[in-house]
Structure 1
Amino acid sequence: METVLSAINGIVWSQALIFMCLAAGLYFSVRTRFMQVRGFVEMFRLTVGGQKSDAGVSSFQALAMSMAGRIGIGNIAGVATAIAFGGPGAIFWMWVMGFLGASTSYVESTLAQIYKTKDAEGRYRGGPAYYIEKAMGLKWYAMAFAIATIAATGFLMPGVQANAIADSAANVCHGSALCGSLDGQWLGMDARDAFKLGIGAAVSVLLAIIIFGGVKRIANFAEIVVPFMAMGYILMAVVVMAMNADQVPEMFGMIFSSAFGGHAAYGALLGLAVEWGVKRGIYANEAGQGTGPHAAAAAEVSHPAKQGYVQAFAIYFDTMMVCTATAFLILSTGRYNVVGADGAALYSGLAGTEPGPGFAQAAVESVLPGWGAGFVALALFFFAFTTIMAYYYMAETNLAYVNGGRRRPLTVLLLRLGIIAMVIFGASHNASVAWALGDIGVGLMAWLNIVAILILAKPAMIALRDYERQKKLGLDPVFDPDALGIRNADFWRGRAGTQPAAEPAAATPAHPSLQGEG
């Protein structure tokens, strides 16, 4: 099974996808005139503001929901695997992907807002499937993305998160007074596997409590948990770095030199540094993957660009702060391994330890004995659990699309039971299978979404210029798609007449790709 999954993974994550992710980020950065730099203050202002309604959540809640999806094991285990197989230089390429990915996130999230709709229960729904159909007029393409996303977020990717929760808990429990050794047999099973199965079952019960409460419960939970879990983890990284301050200059030098093939030990890993940095960067921050737009569409805003700004800020926070915190934890303490392309060890700071949460647990443990493994396991639980919760919301949104907006409670029930089952499956199986399934899911979504947003970028660019124009006039921007020549933005067309009118903009001829059929 692992051989088959590895072969599929190699096809999905070819060099073409890695190049396209980087090229798309650069292209959107140029097209938006690097809005991720120019608009940083506006990003922050909009992030902490906003309102909610019966149909939608606030901008901050939408951010928290998307951050729940972004901040997962990719921020801990993903960073560790990037270092293990790409060397310290992979971190630099993660930063590059984060910086460029902010503009990609703006484009896809603004498109999600422009083409959002209301479902049968009066809630906002949107995402790549919706804007592909409305803006491109390609129902089959939209359906392909929706089905791929249901498969990826409902069945392939949750197992990665659950596996990391179970593995980190087993690392803490092994040899403790509570669990004893996990080397023997429990109930006819390998003790460690039996323990991980129990953890998976417990996580599945907690997940059921949240997801059976609907999107509002998901948003409320994410709004409370996500900011605190992220800031607590970053604070711990700062403490560990301060206690290893003498290693920090060398750490930065190693990151930058190995990123360009100049490091004596890791120079041969230049290609792998780029590949693993981009690959794990996308997995961690999800820019271009098509996951963030689902939460972005649920926000209650007066102009689509507002949520585009907020979601661009999310990439900064995810990559530049949370992923960087993990990297600094691991590199400043030297608790990591690096292997070459041939599998030979280039550096063995934790000989015998598999790349993953164990790197970060050993890093904290080295300076705070007795605290490291438990703290990282707790952080990883919250990171991974909220990600699984966000995955369910994305899968449900695409299921609503496949159902044509009609109420089909049996399909929703089957999805809920399916994701719960995959949590148990992922927790009890080995990490390589879980990661392979997760990577395939991410790759399929990224291929379909990036091609779409490269074609459909124009409405997002028009919305950005309109937003900036209205801000210069001292207005709180409102969106009128007809005045901007944007077709098929049905939700906003119906709403434009009920909002205070901004100064009319010069009509922009609609691009042929915006004509659509809907």
Structure 2
Amino acid sequence: MNFADSIGTANELIWSIPLIALCLLAGLYFSLRTGFLQIRHLPDMLNQLKRGKESEDGTSSFQSLMMSLAGRVGMGNIGGVATAIAFGGPGAVFWMWTSAFLGAATSFVESTLGQIYKERDPDTGEYRGGPAYYFEKAYKHKARRLSLIYGILFAVVTILAMSFFLPGVQANGMASAINNAWGIPTWVTAIGLVILLAFIVIGGVKRIAHFTVVVVPTMALLYVLIAIVVFFLNFSDIPRVFSLIFGSAFGAQPVFGAILGLAVKWGVQRGIYSNEAGQGTGPHAAAAAEVSHPAKQGFAQSFAVYVDTLFVCSATAFIIISTGMFNTFSGESWPNDVIHEGHGGLSTEVEPGPGFVQQGLDSVFPGAGPTFIAIALSFFVFTTIVAYYYMAETNLNYLTRKMTNRLAARAMQRVLQALVLVSVAYGAVTTAGAAWGLGDIGVGSMAWLNIIGILFLQGPALKVLKDYREQKRQGLDPQFDPRKIGIENATFWEVRADEQVKRGPREEPFEKQLERD
């Protein structure tokens, strides 16, 4: 068995039916337990993005959202949607939407846990947190050894995924899109990308936050606006688009009936790859936020899932399906066994990925499609890789935070930075199939560990949600003291609550604070 076959076998093992079911059922379970907060607390999501402020040690909720979106909005939103349609049919889009809606509740739970158990970086003072931290701390008082082992396992898997498995997918998509648009060799793109990344990743979390807060919303908004233009220019085709999506999602259309299982698989798999709900990446950015109550950042990260999938991924799907620039292949067998050709006349030789979207836009804006997608994807990919590095660094920090030799810890950080840059360079020049296979292994491994973990550790997140709702009913701006609701080992918040007591309570009604702010 060669390396490519080994990747394929591992990918099939990880992304089997049990993981698909786990993602969907966990999302449904958390939706029920939280009273469908993804609908009920939509106003809180929007208010938190508007009112959150940064501090010297933490980012604002909006900055943390942008950091989170930097990791979410990338190759998965363009190339990932295209591959889902190519191998799962248009119905895969419906299952992407489903995974996003249910995943918003999962994202709240994991991101709230990230806030509850965050720490200060001993070197920089910045907030750090994520699944490794909450796995270790949540049950430290009951199962110290098991919690520590599980936290270390997740940290190691995440470092490998974020520094080796996933960056290559992003770099490959960017290099491919640039080559399609301008004929620039992939090795040239690799060199340029490595140089730019080296400047950003050495600057730390605050530089990452300030960079992403400008780039991510600008490019995402522009991309969605272009999709809206395509939507209205192809308005007469919209009923057909929705018919294809909903009909093939349940096998109602005979041509797609044989791949119904693949529609679910590719929809959920690419949905999780894109919006990352349950994968365990969102809590890293969530923990960096400066908020007065963990639930606030949980709401912000839930909204990130909506932005990623319901807005950006949907934009890609509408561009591809409305222009007819897609082909669907049976048994994931590109370029053979075509079971459906879109009406746009896309050659079956076009590899599923950014090329679908480039050709779709080119059919509406002749000559401009490949260029625009290459530019948009370049920004998306760049910010995504930066976010990957931040998450890899956070987990390395988790493993080294108690080392007395800080010089050795910083040396390991430099090694990590070099590994990410090498992975990016290699991914840009390798084949797309190998890159996607490695990326899926990384995503799936993290999802298995994190979802199982938060199903056991959900208690503190649910207590926090209840505490938030009770304080809001009293007309207060929710403040958090973990000891009042029986949460242990949340030392950061215990210290913060004690400091607030020394300064004196803030009893000003929440409504008056809103008026003043």
Aligning the two structures, in what range does the TM-score lie when normalised by the shorter sequence?
over 0.9
Displacement of 1:284? 0.4
Displacement of 1:455? 0.4
1:196 maps to which residue? 186
Question: How many Å separate the matches in 1 of 2:172 and 2:364?
Answer: 26
1:373 maps to which residue? 370
The AA in structure 1 aligned to 2:213 is: E
2:394 maps to which residue? 397
Q: 1:364 aligns with which of 355, 361, 370?
A: 361
Where 1:48 maps in the other structure, the secondary structure is helix
The AA in structure 2 aligned to 1:249 is: P
- The alignment of Structure 1 onto Structure 2 pairs a total of residues equal to 484
1:182 maps to which residue? none
Q: 1:104 aligns with which of 83, 102, 106?
A: 106
1:355 maps to which residue? 352
Does the CA contact (< 8 Å) of 1:52 and 1:58 recur in 2? yes
Where 1:213 maps in the other structure, the secondary structure is coil
Q: 1:88 aligns with which of 87, 90, 93?
A: 90
Residues 82-134 of structure 1, C-alpha deviation per residue, up to 9 Å, x if partnerless? 00000000000000000000000000000000000111121111000000000
Displacement of 1:136? 2.8
Residues 354-387 of structure 1, C-alpha deviation per residue, up to 9 Å, x if partnerless? 1000000000000100100000111111111100
1:185 maps to which residue? none
1:333 and 2:336 are equivalent in the alignment: no
1:189 maps to which residue? none
1:346 and 2:336 are equivalent in the alignment: no
TM-score when scaled to structure 2?
Answer: 0.92
Does the CA contact (< 8 Å) of 1:475 and 1:502 recur in 2? no
1:186 maps to which residue? none
The AA in structure 1 aligned to 2:380 is: F
Cα 1:410–1:86 change in 2 (3 A) is same
2:181 maps to which residue? 172
Does the CA contact (< 8 Å) of 1:127 and 1:293 recur in 2? yes
Cα 1:342–1:310 change in 2 (3 A) is closer
Gap runs ≥5 in structure 2 = 141-146, 508-517
Q: 1:302 aligns with which of 269, 278, 292?
A: 292
Does the CA contact (< 8 Å) of 1:77 and 1:355 recur in 2? yes
Question: How many Å separate the matches in 1 of 2:243 and 2:466?
Answer: 40
The AA in structure 2 aligned to 1:347 is: H
Larger CA deviation: 423-432 vs 398-407: 398-407
What are the within-5 Å matches in structure 2 for residues 77-476 of structure 1?
77-121=79-123, 122-137=125-140, 138-174=147-183, 195-341=185-331, 343=333, 344-349=337-342, 350=346, 351-406=348-403, 407=406, 408-476=409-477
Displacement of 1:321? 0.3
Does the CA contact (< 8 Å) of 2:471 and 2:477 recur in 1? yes
Where 2:339 maps in the other structure, the secondary structure is strand
Residues 482-508 of structure 1, C-alpha deviation per residue, up to 9 Å, x if partnerless? 0100011011111112225479xxxxx
RMSD: 1.1
Q: Normalized per residue, which structure has more helix?
A: 2
Displacement of 1:348? 2.9
2:78 maps to which residue? 76
The AA in structure 2 aligned to 1:258 is: S
Where 2:340 maps in the other structure, the secondary structure is strand
The AA in structure 2 aligned to 1:427 is: A
Where 1:338 maps in the other structure, the secondary structure is strand
Does the CA contact (< 8 Å) of 1:426 and 1:434 recur in 2? yes
Does the CA contact (< 8 Å) of 1:66 and 1:390 recur in 2? yes
Question: How many Å separate the matches in 2 of 1:92 and 1:47?
Answer: 27
Displacement of 1:342? 7.2
Where 2:489 maps in the other structure, the secondary structure is coil
Cα 1:342–1:380 change in 2 (3 A) is closer
Where 1:487 maps in the other structure, the secondary structure is coil
Residues 8-38 of structure 1, C-alpha deviation per residue, up to 9 Å, x if partnerless? 1111111111100001000000000000000
1:17 maps to which residue? 19
The AA in structure 1 aligned to 2:323 is: T
Displacement of 1:246? 1.1
Where 1:488 maps in the other structure, the secondary structure is coil
1:507 maps to which residue? none
Question: How many Å separate the matches in 2 of 1:398 and 1:115?
Answer: 14
Does the CA contact (< 8 Å) of 1:119 and 1:405 recur in 2? no
Question: How many Å separate the matches in 1 of 2:332 and 2:279?
Answer: 30
Residues 323-344 of structure 1, C-alpha deviation per residue, up to 9 Å, x if partnerless? 0000000000000010112741
Residues 290-320 of structure 1, C-alpha deviation per residue, up to 9 Å, x if partnerless? 0010000000000000000000010011110
Where 2:254 maps in the other structure, the secondary structure is coil
Residues 374-413 of structure 1, C-alpha deviation per residue, up to 9 Å, x if partnerless? 0011111111110000000000000000103443110010
In the TM superposition, structure 1's runs of 4+ consecutive aligned residues that sit over 3 Å from their partners are 500-503
Question: How many Å separate the matches in 2 of 1:243 and 1:490?
Answer: 55
Question: How many Å separate the matches in 2 of 1:478 and 1:341?
Answer: 53
Does the CA contact (< 8 Å) of 2:72 and 2:384 recur in 1? yes
Where 1:352 maps in the other structure, the secondary structure is coil
Larger CA deviation: 302-311 vs 490-499: 490-499
Question: How many Å separate the matches in 2 of 1:460 and 1:467?
Answer: 11
1:67 maps to which residue? 69
Question: How many Å separate the matches in 2 of 1:318 and 1:49?
Answer: 21
Where 2:292 maps in the other structure, the secondary structure is coil
Does the CA contact (< 8 Å) of 2:167 and 2:420 recur in 1? yes
Gap runs ≥5 in structure 1 = 180-194, 504-518
Displacement of 1:254? 1.0
Residues 434-488 of structure 1, C-alpha deviation per residue, up to 9 Å, x if partnerless? 1011110001111110011000111101100100110111111000100100011
Residues 169-208 of structure 1, C-alpha deviation per residue, up to 9 Å, x if partnerless? 000123xxxx6xxxxxxxxxxxxxxx10110110010001
The AA in structure 1 aligned to 2:367 is: G
Where 1:76 maps in the other structure, the secondary structure is helix
2:495 maps to which residue? 494
2:35 maps to which residue? 33
Does the CA contact (< 8 Å) of 2:118 and 2:130 recur in 1? yes
The AA in structure 1 aligned to 2:312 is: V
1:515 maps to which residue? none
Does the CA contact (< 8 Å) of 2:122 and 2:401 recur in 1? no
